[in-house]
Amino acid sequence: MMYPISKIKLDFPILNRKINSNKLIYFDNAASSLKPNYVIEHEMNYYKYEYAAVHRGIHTLSREATNKVEQVRYKVANFINAKQTEEIIFTKGTTESINLVAYSWGRKFLRSGDNIIITEMEHHANIVPWQVLAKEKGLLIRYIPLLPNGTLDLSKLLSLIDDNTRLFAITAASNVLGIINPLKDIINQVKNISNSLVLVDGAQYIMHQKVDVQLLNCDFYVFSGHKMYGPTGIGILYGKKYLLDNMLPWETGGSMIKTVSLVKETTFNQVPWKFEAGSLNTAGIIGLGAAIDYIKSIGLKQISLYEKLLTEYAFNILNNIPNIKIYGSITHNRIGVISFNLGKHHAYDVGSLLDTYGIAVRTGHQCALPIMDYFKINSVCRISLAMYNDYFEIDKLASVLTKINKILI
């Protein structure tokens, strides 16, 4: 079956827009993916015809909205193969999900002298919360280093783990280098020699390939809706239920309580609601459910194969541009993220010129300064591919980069 790229493009109305008289070419999907009509319409319908506050409402609209939220919880659990729907917590996004674990689990269970292992490949969201926690609790943070080809030096992993290792936090795929980490093998190694928990940052992986949290045997898995064709402001924390049951509440207030008294001790709701204080982003949750339906209607397997071929094509084309420097292994298992610099020209200048041709790329340190430090650079241009990108767009990018190369000399 041929990949229905022309049909998929029609599903994303923003792709009809022109930037500087050029048809938009959107290569900034690792920052945030575009939204299909299917997702937009589901959110609009909620606001137009279905709007109500969820949980505990007796009237029809409230009951319907509550049912929709819980149906999406089930969809998410099914999408990542969680064992129970109660293991799915709605958050604002990946960053909040990681901070929730650091606060609710870390502050309760970690002690001075314990250590956490992360990697040099991480996004700041999977570095800074652990640094803050480490400073507060007297913890050690150990890092798996990078290799020159952008992969992790996994030969160092076992030497970093000891009896005081309590958490291993790792990205599924680098937001700068595109490298996909062999999570199942890594997690098996960690679990075989320690009692450490494992948290996976799946923000860059979730829209590209199938996730099975039971097969991975990770303890926490986090991701954001806006990177998988869903709305902004909604994310997921998956956690094994026995861990969630024993964690502290993240925020307090309405909905997350069981009883509140001015005299007796306040008691908390059961999971997942214990971690969902206040009014939920119901429209965002409904939009996330629609995004999952949309992805499944095309098929993750089909999307993954198409993106793999498109990424290989992009590498081959871009690699022939004079003065280009691409970071990360071309041959390694990867998602469609390619970071590069063009000679000695600043990434901002290259990105600005690309924008004049309607080509949207991300420039800067990509919220991954340790990677920049490793390669002794301060910024990169990054393209990140999605299901609606095509070969013509890659050719246009290469052509414009060749022109820019001549302009900036």
What's the CATH number where 84 sits?
Answer: 3.40.640.10
Same domain, 222 and 361: no
Is there a domain that residue 240 lies in? yes
Residue 1 has pLDDT above 70, yes or no: no
How far apart are the C-alpha atoms of 128 and 3, rounded to whole Å? 40
Do 361 and 255 fall within a single domain?
Answer: no
- pLDDT exceeds 70 at position 337: yes
Phi then psi for 6, rounded to 5 degrees? -65, -40
Same domain, 115 and 247: yes
pLDDT at 154 over 90: yes
Q: Average pLDDT, whole number, for the chain?
A: 96
Contacts of 28 (CB under 8 A, 6+ apart): 360, 361, 362, 382, 383, 384
Q: Are 222 and 194 in a shared domain? A: yes
CATH code of residue 388: 3.90.1150.10
Spell out a b/e string for 261-276, using b for 16 or more CB atoms within 10 Å of the CB, else e. Answer: eeeeeeebbebbbbbb
Cα 303 to Cα 29: distance, rounded to the nearest angstrom: 14
| Sign of the CA dihedral with 78 first, then 228, 240, and 143 last | positive
Q: Domain boundary residue among 296, 322, 345?
A: 296
Of the residues 296, 313, 337, which one is the last residue of a structural domain? 296
> In angstroms, rounded to a whole number, what is the distance separating the alpha carbons of residues 342 and 382?
11
| Pair 207, 76 in one domain | yes
Pairing of strands 115-119, 140-144: parallel
In the chain, the number of structural domains is 2
**9 plus 137 within the same structural domain:** no
List pLDDT tens digits, range 97-140.
Answer: 999 999 999 999 999 999 999 999 999 999 999 999 999 999 99
Q: Please, what is the end-to-end C-alpha distance for the chain in angstroms?
A: 45
Catalytic site positions? 367
Q: 387 and 257, same structural domain?
A: no
Contact status, residue 294 vs residue 230, Cβ threshold 8 Å: no
338 assigned to some structural domain: yes
Residues 303 and 290 in one domain: no
392 and 352 share a domain? Answer: yes
Average pLDDT of span 246-275: 91
Q: Are residues 220 and 325 in the same domain?
A: no
Residue 408 maps to a domain: no
Residue type, position 329, single letter = S
Residue 257: inside a domain, yes or no? yes
How many Cα atoms sit within 13 Å of 185 on the Cβ side?
Answer: 6
Answer yes or no: is 35 within a domain: no
Tell me the Ramachandran region of residue 190: left when phi exceeds 0, alpha when psi lies from -120 to 50, beta otherwise.
alpha
Max alpha carbon distance in the chain (Å)? 75
Same domain, 342 and 264: no
The boundaries of the domain holding residue 217 are 40-296
Of 255, 270, 296, the residue that ends a domain is 296
pLDDT > 90 in the chain, percent: 93
Write the DSSP symbol of residue 177.
T
C-alpha–C-alpha distance, residues 202 and 335, integer Å: 12
The token pair at 229 is 């064709």
Q: Are residues 309 and 291 in the same domain?
A: no
